Structure 1
Amino acid sequence: MSTLASKLKELEELTSNAKQIQDDMLEKILKVNANTEYLQRFLHGSSDKELFKKNIPTVSYEDVRPYIERVADGEPSDVISGEPLTNFLLSSGTSGGKLKFFPANNKYFENMAFILDLSSAIISKYVDGAHEGKVMTFLSTRPLSTTPSGLHVAPAITSFYKSDYFEKENVPYQSPNQVIFCVDSKQSMFCHFLCALVQREEIVSTVASFASVIVLAIRFLETHWKELCDNIRSGYISEWITDLGCRDSVSIILKGPNPKLADLIEHECSRSSWEGMIKRLWPNIKFIQTIVSGQMSQYIPVLDFYSNKLPLISSYYLASETMFGVNVDPLCKPQDVSYTFIPSMSYFELLLVDQGNSDDIVDFVDVKLGCFYEPLVTNHFGLYRYRMGDILQVTGFYNSAPQFRFVRRKNVVLSVQVEATTEEDLLKALNHATVLLESSGLMLMGFTCYSDVSSVPSHYVLYWELKAKTLSGTVKLDSKVMVKCCCVVEESFDIIYKRFRSKYGSIGALEIRVVEQGTFDSVMEYFISKGASATQYKTPLCINSPEVLAILEDKVIARFLSDKSPPV
């Protein structure tokens, strides 16, 4: 049986036996971990599943952080895990605003490799020739640091690519490993593009963790294409590329001067518009594989513009805490993406949204269609009934395994009174406003917001980075269009917001502050300087950091306020 067929068969087996696999998963986890210091308090050495459900509390990161830090500081793994821990995985630190680190061992990387292989098989089923060429990536890694106990600490992607499982994956990336392992993200990005352009005919897909990473890469190409052409024309790599691994490995791919290719790239990049540029530079590319669900949906119009509407495939749902599942319908519309949970990854329970006690927790297979849940994760390496903070909606079942649509992060909201504007509310409002922008020849390249409670009355502030669709075009802001955008955003919010805004006057006019191009690159650089990974970076949807607000405020070039209250 081919690898493709065997993986698809395994998908059927796992999802058809979801309840039994989940029961076995919890039993195995409890037998191994019941005598850990953490579980001993609640289970007294028992591995009884009903006792687990009765006694183990749901927890947030702050609840378990002291235990994680004790192991990091040198205490034995059995404080929280019955199996030895080998790594700590850094979260991106941008969704909730703070870096977190989670214990892991090789089982985590084994699960990640399984999910990557499974999603690859699913794509092959739907896209002819999906893997008959090279994959364009923009991966870079961060240096591995160590805890006082000597365990490695790095973002999940870096940790995976530094593990033995990466070599076994054998993905035909356009760039050699030396470029992926380069810890200077700018040098890595430049070399990725050199390799991709030289091998342009062989590229069949591009992959990145998040849509924002691909948008960042496009902005980099817009800034550096002339220098890239010079390198290709001369056959020599720019002197500022000082990483010897990059220089030596990329020189082999460059193979000396290629003025014909340089002229072709220069011709394309010099044209008045970059619409469809991804397809123009890489003519055989078939799809873009990246996460476009949740807050990443804001980048869909930008990717559609640059790729000539190539399929956008959100393949899987992964986190530093665990792997969740895969998209079994990869060519669906981005707004219809659902993930089929794989029962062999962790033990999953679901907590009804806005319900706070243990009676509202349901098993993996007992969720109800259309209902909203927060997943609770019990994994192999020290998390027990851990609240993820993601809000998911049940969209269906694949065999007996539930399928979920990612809705929003639980705590990412704007509020200045008693109203609660969610991540989903913001993104819907944004989609309505970007229609107006497109009619003016503009694209939204970056976005964040915050609740300004220093003003009277308090109001919402949206920071927008805009770009003209034509390459040489400057961003011309039409006041009427921008004010209309403010109004459209407000009109998209719920009735509670509108009442406080229109009827009571206790919420002020919504404000859009336009910032200079490159502002969100500066925001990203700030978070990377604080430990975030460029590969896993997501611009925070809502800002509460004084340092980041200062960066944004320093770059503001225009301010607009809605000129009327939204109808109630």
Structure 2
Amino acid sequence: MLPAVAVAAVVAVAVAVAVAIPALRHRLVRSALRRAGGRYRRRLEALGSDVRLSQERRLRRLLGTGTGTGTGTAGGERGAAGSGPGSPSHGFPSQLVPLPAGSEEFQQRHPLGQPCRDEAPGFPLGPLRLWALLPGCWDPDPRLQGSLLYLDALGAAFPRALLRRGTAVLHWSPGRARGPAGWPLPSLYCSPAAAALLPSRAAALRLQLLFALRQRALRVLEAGLAAELQDALLALRAEWPRLAQELELGRLSPQPGLPEGLRDRLQALLSPAAARAAELRAECARGFEGIVMRLWPQLEVVVVRTMRGTERLYCDSLRQTDCQGLPFYCPFYQAAGALLGVNLWPAEPEPRFMLCPDWAFCEFLPCLGSKEPRAVLLDELWEGCEYGLVVTAQPGEYRCRTGEVLKVTGFHKQCPLVEPVRRESQTLSVRGESIPEEQFCQSLCRALRMWPGARLIDYVCVESSLLGDSSGPCAPHYEVFMELQGLRDLSEGQRYKLDQCLQEDFPIYKSFRFKGSIGPLRLHLVRPRTFTRLREALGCPVPMPRVLREERLLQLIQGSVIS
């Protein structure tokens, strides 16, 4: 009897140690990362006291001249001037090579580049190199700095948000692994990284949803795009009985888009969870208003890594339905594949992105004024004004036009706080009238309020030139494809309301309509889940285009018209 008791005691201790070691490791690494995040935040505060100097230093490094010892020129003197204890260098090397081409000469040598391609949001996957956290490390990757700042800000605002396996990810990244927002702390996540790499977007999001459902004690729900969270919750509405069965049995069922070999590997991570399956069935049977908080009662915040312009449509919809009562936090601003800004205020309802002067060299084209305005720098912006963004973020890729328009909403020290308002590529124009995407969305929402019982799910626009012969012999015009909830058809009078709102909001459009040089807008309703399929057809996780430019996407949505 005694040997059996002793063996049982040893086994119990071994199990306790095995459980405790990962938890202890998580706490130690989390503490180290929080300390590093606090240090980078203090460094960012110091850099914000002289953004022109910080931008000049960043430009030196991008030109490959920023790590030697400089003497003798104004540029070198300026670099050395910030080398005191309270200087923006904040513990980093301060002796810089004289700048052979300052910002003005740089602008003269390099004309504005071509528009850059929008890239999917993401961070590098792979082990964190501990040397990158050392206080004396020179020029760490902005993506590492951004993630450390995110972990520090999130942990400060929501103290239990950084618990081990307390975060679930809903993000599709086919072809190339992309780390979540807190990638330096992988033990934070309960979602298998392999699920994001599936070639099928629907299969990836459904599988990540299943693993999130297993973890009742979630604190954070993270999505790359708000549309990904919306589509995952649409899958919950449609497939909850099957998801509950998989939870109960602890077994993945065969499904399209899930390769057999990967299914077997993921299967090994599952175990039967009958109680959780019963809870899922009970909550879904009650309906889906506020379903997220009912399924994960300890959830504190929803993190959306990208929320630009009319992407807010999805966040607003989720706040009103599935995610009632939850704050949304968008931590990063990135464009053209570069991380440019960070939101250090998670608890505030509206995101404020602080442009970080040490992450990229930024220039700004004023939206009002001459057709070829002079590009201004980070320290020359005015609150309340809108600017087109030009970025130099990689050596050899100079003065890239991002196509993003930002509005300056304030300042933190000298660092501007910005709000992305529109993408220039998403402007409607068939006669040079130029209707920006965010203003079209406002007109659309105003018309929608005149349709009792209707709720907008999604929409896209098409200029009639893309339709070719199918547009008929009429004048150039817009066609709008909408998915609505609460209405299956619209009268001609209701359809005309949108065209009327556009005429009221845009005098130039009204003038062209009066002359007959622009024809009446045509409005189509599409069947449910059309936009989910459209996002999969895009082939990569980028913010939803509001103006379709590709015939294959047009054909997909035309095939879903019901009215």
Structure number with greater CO (CA < 8 Å, separation at least 6) is 1
Q: Note the C-alpha offset of 1:331.
A: 3.1
Q: Distance in 2 between matches of 1:484 and 1:131?
A: 50
Distance 1:485 1:260, change over 3 A: farther
**TM-score, with structure 1 as normaliser:** 0.75
Q: Distance in 2 between matches of 1:4 and 1:426?
A: 40
Distance 1:372 1:492, change over 3 A: same
Q: Distance in 2 between matches of 1:251 and 1:481?
A: 57
Q: Note the C-alpha offset of 1:183.
A: 4.3
Q: Note the C-alpha offset of 1:479.
A: 3.2
Which of 258, 265, 288 is the aligned partner of 1:248? 265
Considering only CA atoms, is the larger Rg found in Structure 1 or Structure 2? 2
Q: Distance in 2 between matches of 1:359 and 1:90?
A: 24
The one-letter code of the counterpart of 2:508 is I
* Contact residue 277 and residue 307 of structure 1 kept, 8 A: yes
Is 1:518 matched with 2:529? Answer: yes
* Contact residue 373 and residue 393 of structure 1 kept, 8 A: yes
Q: Note the C-alpha offset of 1:504.
A: 2.8
Residue in structure 1 matched with residue 274 of structure 2 by the alignment: 259
Residue in structure 2 matched with residue 149 of structure 1 by the alignment: none
Question: Per-residue displacement from partner, 1:121-170 (whole Å, max 9, x unpaired)?
Answer: 223333342323511211233225xxxxxxxxxxxxx3557xxx986342
Residue in structure 2 matched with residue 539 of structure 1 by the alignment: 544
Distance 1:91 1:356, change over 3 A: farther
* Contact residue 351 and residue 360 of structure 1 kept, 8 A: yes
Hey, which of these two has a bigger chunk of strand by percent? 1
Distance 1:545 1:263, change over 3 A: same
Question: Per-residue displacement from partner, 1:344-395 (whole Å, max 9, x unpaired)?
Answer: 1111121222667876111111111222211221223321111111111111
Distance 1:125 1:227, change over 3 A: same
Which of 280, 290, 300 is the aligned partner of 1:276? 290
Residue in structure 2 matched with residue 55 of structure 1 by the alignment: 109
Percent sequence identity over matched residues? 23
Distance 1:553 1:228, change over 3 A: same
**TM-score, with structure 2 as normaliser:** 0.76
Distance 1:244 1:108, change over 3 A: farther
Residue in structure 1 matched with residue 22 of structure 2 by the alignment: none
Residue in structure 2 matched with residue 99 of structure 1 by the alignment: none
Q: How does 1:127-276 map to 2 (within 5 A)?
A: 127-132=158-163, 134-144=166-176, 158=177, 168-170=184-186, 172-200=188-216, 202-240=217-255, 241-252=258-269, 254-256=270-272, 258-271=273-286, 273-276=287-290
Distance 1:492 1:286, change over 3 A: farther
Question: Per-residue displacement from partner, 1:303-330 (whole Å, max 9, x unpaired)?
Answer: 1111014212121101344211012333
Which of 514, 537, 559 is the aligned partner of 1:554? 559
Q: Note the C-alpha offset of 1:51.
A: 2.5
Structure 1: 5+ residue stretches without partners: 34-44, 63-88, 94-105, 145-157, 469-474, 559-568
Distance 1:431 1:330, change over 3 A: farther
Distance 1:178 1:413, change over 3 A: closer
Q: How does 1:450-461 map to 2 (within 5 A)?
A: 450-452=462-464, 454=471, 456-461=474-479
Question: Per-residue displacement from partner, 1:211-270 (whole Å, max 9, x unpaired)?
Answer: 111111112222221111111122222133545445434543x322x3332122112222
Q: Distance in 2 between matches of 1:182 and 1:315?
A: 26
* Contact residue 205 and residue 228 of structure 2 kept, 8 A: no
The one-letter code of the counterpart of 1:274 is F
The one-letter code of the counterpart of 1:17 is D
Please give the secondary structure, in 2, of the residue aligned with 1:351.
strand
Q: Note the C-alpha offset of 1:22.
A: 0.9
Structure 2: 5+ residue stretches without partners: 1-33, 67-97, 122-131, 133-137, 466-470
Q: Distance in 2 between matches of 1:449 and 1:136?
A: 33
Moved more, 386-395 or 345-354: 345-354
Q: How does 1:122-521 map to 2 (within 5 A)?
A: 122-132=153-163, 134-144=166-176, 158=177, 168-170=184-186, 172-200=188-216, 202-240=217-255, 241-252=258-269, 254-256=270-272, 258-271=273-286, 273-290=287-304, 291-304=306-319, 305-334=321-350, 337-353=351-367, 360-436=374-450, 439-440=452-453, 442-452=454-464, 454=471, 456-468=474-486, 475-477=487-489, 479=491, 482-483=494-495, 486=498, 489-490=501-502, 493-501=505-513, 503-521=514-532
